[in-house]
Amino acid sequence: MAVTAEVRKEQIRQAEEVLGLEGRRLGFARSLFFGHFRADLMFPWPQLEPAEQRAVEELVGEFRQFAETEIDPFEIDRLADIPESVRHGLARLGMFGLTVPREFGGLGLSQSAACRVMEAVGSVDASIAVMLNAHHSIGLRVIVLAGTEEQKQRWLPPLARGEVLAAFALTEPNAGSDAASIQTTATPGEDGQVYYLDGEKRYITNGAIAGVLTVLARAPVPGREGTHVTAFLVTPDLPGFEVVEARMPKCGIRGTVTSRLAFHHMPVPASNVLGRLGEGLRLALTAIDYGRITFGATCTGAAKVCLQAAVRHACTRRQFGQPLAEFEMVKEKLASMAAEVFAMESATHHAAALMDAQTGDYMLETAMVKVFASEALWRIVNDTIQIFGGQAYFADEPYERMMRDARINLIGEGANDVLRAFVALVGLREVGQQLKVLADAIWRPWEHWLELLRFAGRRIYFSAPQIPVTHAELAEEASRLAHDIAAFGKAVESALLQYRESIVERQFVQKRLADAATDLYLACCVLSRLDAWLDRPDESGPALLNRGRLFLAQASRRVRQHLHALRDNDDALTTQVADDLVNGYRAGVGAAPSPTAGAGAEFA
């Protein structure tokens, strides 16, 4: 049953309150929805400070040496566990405290530096990458962001040393991507010194082995009606803490501990409230930004492994009298893989730099990176298997495991379809508000002449923005990208004028706009990085330039296709077919082909 207009309006109000969009200056990605290019947030290309760059290179080198001798991804997958010896080794390297401030025992790396380290982890084993991400990027991150000084002093040192693992307990049977549907309750005691938690959590990474968990639960907030999501620091020794299922069997990342937990009137001291009462969702969404950007890094690492293996196999495997690398369909796969790897890495580095700079508005960028990187890795693993053929299908090669491991990336830290809707609706919000102001101004022109003048100026000068590349070799790509950004801004405005408030239900439109915006953002990152690389070209020569140019060409073509599909599509027929299936199922006549049906049978 569709939600009512009143319910939808309240959902939007709550979402805007949680996201804290009011008064926040538009970031780079949100500006694209106006057809603008914020050069100050894209140029110059961000670089690590020399001292931090050296520290990262040293740490990555130490990690790779450790991985070579101590980490066996086949064994981790087969035994469905990460050995204690591996965890201890990671702890000795400082991998559990990458961005924890030095004063609390961590390495104090920037997010940009940590992403480079996590890329190396992602190239070795996905289970270890997910364990560290759950511990570091979302688990202890909330304590760094919102913990009191006492909470930081108590928890961060052992977490940074790897003596204690962290977990982030959000997901429930009825609350996943819809985090606001959390049903776990936190009832305050009579003296206000304790909260009693009741509820269930599932799919919690590190859940059964964590020493401290951030649990989201609904608690009353003084001065506000109802209950509101609040974050609590919980330890497994509290009475009423139950591990219902320690290790849930799963398709991939089998080395991770994924658990079901339950809380039975579990007393949690009020001093363990993390942040303010009722602000748990906002804190969770902020932490998840860090998790998403780390996904971008680990996916990039795995994709690089696949690319190297695919090139090697294509060059050495001969069929029909010549190497596979001589066939154009193989060339197409290799080239697209290389272009996408370059784009994944570029966008991850840029979004991480925005987070380090604390620009205040990078939620769309991290969502775009997560969606693109996870789907690009899925394509790259698939193409690697296709190039290897039957050889890759067997368990003595790593690629079938990498395929299973890669699938969760499209679901974790926000399912990709949900993130597409998120990107589109957050991006459309400011444009829609300005159009509403314009609509009001039309009826009172003398009171709102400035708004009318601004709109008229935007219509007259809705031309391609300036993209300040410094190298003539990139002038053509910059011009094409600028025109694509302008066309996107016009398409956004047209969609809002056509659908108005109902655009919140138009997911076909949302998907096309989100995908176009994502390609534009990644193209901007690639172009800026190429411009910086031309200042100091290295031994990679023209190969790097060609990879970037290929991505720019492919992204531009996809953007134009997405915008064209806003006008020329099969949306009505697609909806009708889906509705026929759903209505048939509801009527009890069978809505899907039977798995045992014979050839030619449509329904059971």
- Tell me which residues are annotated as active site: 413
Whole-angstrom Cα distance, residue 34 to residue 394? 49
Q: List the beta bridge partners of residue 234.
A: 213
| Strand extents, DSSP E, 170-210 | 185-188, 194-205
Whole-angstrom Cα distance, residue 193 to residue 195? 7
CA 375 to chain centre: 11
The tokens for 360 are 């205040």
Cβ distance 273 to 144 under 8 Å? Answer: no
Cβ distance 217 to 197 under 8 Å? Answer: yes
Whole-angstrom Cα distance, residue 214 to residue 235? 9
Q: List the beta bridge partners of residue 323.
A: 318
Amino acid at 182: I
- Dihedrals phi, psi of 566, to nearest 5 degrees: -65, -25
Cβ distance 208 to 247 under 8 Å? Answer: yes
Cβ distance 140 to 95 under 8 Å? Answer: no
Whole-angstrom Cα distance, residue 519 to residue 174? 33
Amino acid at 497: L
Whole-angstrom Cα distance, residue 575 to residue 562? 18
Secondary structure (3-state) at 141: helix
